[in-house]
Amino acid sequence: MDPLQELRSRLGQLQEQQLLRTRRIVEGPCRPQTTVLGGEGPRPMLAFCSNDYLGLAAHPAVVAGLERGARQLGAGSGASHLISGHHLAHHRLEERLAQLESPHIPGCRALFFGTGYLANIAVLASLADRETEIFSEELNHASLIDGIRMSRARRQVYPHADLATLAARLRASTARRKLIVTDAVFSMDGDLAPLPQLLELAGQHGAWLMVDDAHGFGVLGERGRGSLAHHGLRSEHLVYVGTLGKALGVAGAFVAAHETVIEWLVQRARPYVFSTASPPALAVALEAALDITTGAQGETLRAALAERIARLRAGLAVDPWRLLPSTTAIQPIIIGDNAATMAAAGALQEQGLWVAGIRPPTVPQGSSRLRVTLSAAHAPAQIDQLVAALNALAAQQRDR
Ligand SMILES: *Cc1c(COP(=O)(O)O)cnc(C)c1O
């Protein structure tokens, strides 16, 4: 078959299975009240799908940091970090991030990356090799799965939060090097990994514990320092990845680990070595975002977010659908069927409410869902509007 024809037919199959994805074009900054461009022209929408948990993506102080950074440092870094692209702004940001995680990781240093995806594949592909066995949680993010593939390590996927199975597999392993890897907050379910127990297992078996805290850094723990702080952990065998495009509202990620680990990454992590450093102005914007998340304003924003989460959960009555027992800003409602999920998302959209419908392969077959994400930037009345719309849709479902 002609290769173009073949691709067309594969796209056709995706469409038939209700798995075809489309992008919507947003006009203006990331805010709950947003404008979406479409066939019938610009349309106001109330969005419940960003990861901008504290409303920092369009915060004046963060935007001012980006402007100041660009004025003083220009637009681009010019090279990779190991050639000439490692600017003072990057360095200062790294020192500050290392200091934040240092109560949890002795000898802590931090390394700044352009994205969380890149940081995850960099850590896995350089810390693990053919002589490593990686114990990977079933619901881990795609970037972790891809990093494991790149590492060529042996992979053991353990069932979600199943510590007994993980322990048995660790005991049975004869690998020279071992690494346990997990999301700290599961991105599609919103629940927390049992990090204290995982760290204990890692200690018993001489393994690293790599923690992807994309949805925890900035929102969990004292001063928003993330999941290690939330659980009060401390070990030099922790490798922590925090991302900076979600609660921090900008872009990028960092690895925090013992200085020896960081030095190894600088030497050997190909995604670090062979990629242009991100604009130093981003580091200035991120310092402004950290001023907020680690300060008194951060406490206020986190309290507002917690109030929005409680308000949504108290109001929702969505039987026969199932609201997952999440305490975080990620509040999924399981519908199951792909078409029914997209129909529900479509019905909300008709009412100007934007909630992401999530289907396989992002989530397991039969667990398609509406993934509501909340932000401190949502007004209480906006939460109430979503609750009323969801409750009405679920009621229609019950009456069928
Ligand atoms: C978003 C996300 C990433 C990727 O981070 P980016 O900075 O967006 O590339 C990694 N892990 C998890 C769990 C995520 O949700």
pLDDT attached to residue 350: 94
Look at the block and give the residue holding tokens 């129909």.
343
Helix crossing, 338-350 with 380-399: angle to 10°?
A: 130
Catalytic position from the list 231, 237, 246, 258 = 246
CA distance 104 to 318: 40
- 40: pLDDT strictly greater than 80: no
Among 187, 227, 278, 367, the active-site one is 187
Tell me whether residue 187 is one of the annotated catalytic residues.
Answer: yes
Other Cβ atoms less than 10 A from the Cβ of 153: the count is 24
At residue 212's C-alpha, the angle toward residues 180 and 176, to 5°, is 20
Name the residue with the closest Cα to ligand 1, atom 2.
214
pLDDT at 260 over 80: yes
Mean pLDDT value across the chain? 97
Residue 246 annotated in active site: yes
Cβ < 6 Å from ligand 1: which residues?
115-117, 120, 141, 143, 183, 187, 212, 214-215, 243, 245, 253
**Percent of the chain whose predicted confidence (pLDDT) is above 70:** 100
Distance of CA 388 to the CA centre of its chain: 28
Report the distance separating Cα 189 and Cα 182, nearest Å.
14
Measured distance CA(247)–CA(227) in Å, rounded:
13
Ligand 1 centre to CA of 214 (Å) is: 5
Choose the residue to mutate in 212, 219, 227, 282 for probing ligand 1, maximizing ligand atoms within 8 Å of C-beta.
212
Q: Report residue 252's pLDDT band, with 50, 70 and 90 as the boundaries.
A: very high
**Which atom of ligand 1 is closest in space to residue 245's alpha carbon?**
7
Say how many Å lie between the CA of residue 243 and the centre of ligand 1: 7
Closest ligand 1 atom to residue 143 Cα is: 10
Burial 50-67 (b: 16+ CB within 10 A, else e): bbbbbbbbebeebbebbe
**pLDDT exceeds cutoff 90 at 398:** no
Collapsed DSSP state (helix, strand, coil) of residue 151: helix
Indicate if 215 belongs to the active site.
Answer: yes
Going by C-beta distance under 8 Å and a sequence separation of 6 or more, which residues neighbour residue 395? none
Of the residues 215, 231, 237, 258, only one is catalytic, namely 215
- The residue whose C-alpha atom lies closest to atom 1 belonging to ligand 1 is 214
- pLDDT at residue 62, rounded to an integer: 98
- d(C-alpha 96, C-alpha 104), whole Å: 14
- Helices 296-315 + 280-293 axis angle, to 10: 70
Res 321 pLDDT > 80? yes
Strands (E), 261-345: 322-323, 330-336
pTM for the structure as a whole: 0.96
Q: Whose CA is nearest to atom 8 of ligand 1?
A: 116
Encode pLDDT of 185-231 as tens digits: 999 999 999 999 999 999 999 999 999 999 999 999 999 999 999 99
pLDDT at 22: 85
The β-bridge relationship of strands 253-258 and 322-323 is unpaired
How far is Cα 149 from Cα 125, in angstroms, rounded to an integer?
Answer: 8
Residue 399 has pLDDT above 90, yes or no: no
For residues 319 and 300, the answer to whether their CB atoms sit within 8 Å is no
Amino acid at 167: A
CA of 117 to the centre of ligand 1 (A): 6
pLDDT of residue 18: 80
Q: What average pLDDT does this structure show over 113-127? A: 98
Binned at pLDDT 50, 70 and 90, residue 334 comes out as: very high
